[in-house]
Amino acid sequence: MSRELTSEYARSGVDTTEADRALARLLLEIAPTAAFGSGTELGIGHFAAVIRVGPLHLALTTDGVGSKLLVAQALGKYDTVGIDCVAMNVNDLLCVGAKPLAMLDYIAVERCDPEVFGQIGRGLCEGARQAGVAIVGGETAQIPDMLRGAREGSGLDLAGMALGIVPDGGLCDGSKVQPGDVLIGVASSGVHSNGLSLARAVLARKFRLDEYVADLGTTVGEALLTPTRIYVPQVEALAKAGITPHALAHITGDGFLNIRRVEAPVGFEIDSLPPVPEVLRLISRIGELDAAELYTVFNMGVGFTVTVAPGDADRTLAALRATGLDAWRMGRAFADPERKVRILPERLVGRSKLFFREP
């Protein structure tokens, strides 16, 4: 059954089952390194690693932009992908209660082009401004024998690493979530930087990347390049309002299943879904994709979630909306050692890495 649910994504070039097996092997091999240094305050599998350095808890994360770069290469437009690189890293830091401080970037290219580097730099700068972080260094590599792009000489990879600090008593690992806690979703800006292999494969059946689509109000490529939203202002707004979230989740790869990455033995029941962005509706319609696959691969309009005590729900919604983003009460936590995610309007239940249709 899992093969059926992931068939479209696998056909687009991303086999999540094989990826999980490969990752498990990697983790097995690196597990002994925990004894070589200071170790981690959180087990592997959280959104970011947290280590203790003297009296400080430092959070570390790394991520890249992925195949969204192929859209940038095809269009020759690189001024937003740097925002994605910052967003994918700092949003994960937020989920463990860290305040983002600094970033490093890594740019690997088939061929060095000052204009491309300049555009990437502008995006990195804008992302850093939105996140309130400094980009303190990085690395570049020219590796033409390893990289190929959407156009001749355009091969490119962009990734980053971010550092944050967790204040005393501020570690957020989901261990405080209680049954009855309220799950609140915060709006995404579109596809963000996950599921682009599937999104590109589906939309290519009907459109060119430079083709204007009335339903989108822009070209397909521009819609796909809409930068990943950075949620630092929203989390800061909660802190200023005196709200302590019990869990935070960045909705990236694995879609809504990211919500279940909590230490507490709870699952989540979603009874209200927000509007789906038009670009994701278009992907769903053209690809005739099953809801189980959609909610496993894409954010479906929710880029970040906040779980709070019931008494804090209204204040949380008000604080989030005051930042200018839509936010919605989506559901609640319930006692469940399997940590399932149930999406009631779609009759889906998620365990491990996949959603399934409930009978």
Which pLDDT tens digit goes with each residue over 156-197? 999 999 999 999 889 999 999 999 999 999 999 999 999 999
The predicted model gives 209-236 an average pLDDT of 97
- Tell me how far apart the alpha carbons of residues 169 and 359 are, in angstroms, rounded to a whole number: 43
The predicted model gives 135-141 an average pLDDT of 96
Does residue 9 carry a pLDDT above 80? no
pLDDT at 179: 98
Q: What digits encode the pLDDT tens for the residues 25-54? A: 877 776 777 766 666 777 677 889 898 888
Residue 153 φ/ψ region, left for φ over 0, alpha for ψ in the -120 to 50 degree band, beta for the rest? left
Is 0.85 topped by the overall pTM? yes
Report residue 135's pLDDT band, with 50, 70 and 90 as the boundaries. very high
Report residue 224's pLDDT band, with 50, 70 and 90 as the boundaries. very high
pLDDT at 4: 43
Token pair for residue 162? 């971010």
Report residue 3's pLDDT band, with 50, 70 and 90 as the boundaries. very low
pLDDT at 25: 80
The predicted model gives 282-295 an average pLDDT of 95
Does residue 314 carry a pLDDT above 80? yes
- Tell me how far apart the alpha carbons of residues 64 and 50 are, in angstroms, rounded to a whole number: 19
DSSP 17-32: HHHHHHHHHHHHHHGG
- Tell me how far apart the alpha carbons of residues 250 and 253 are, in angstroms, rounded to a whole number: 9
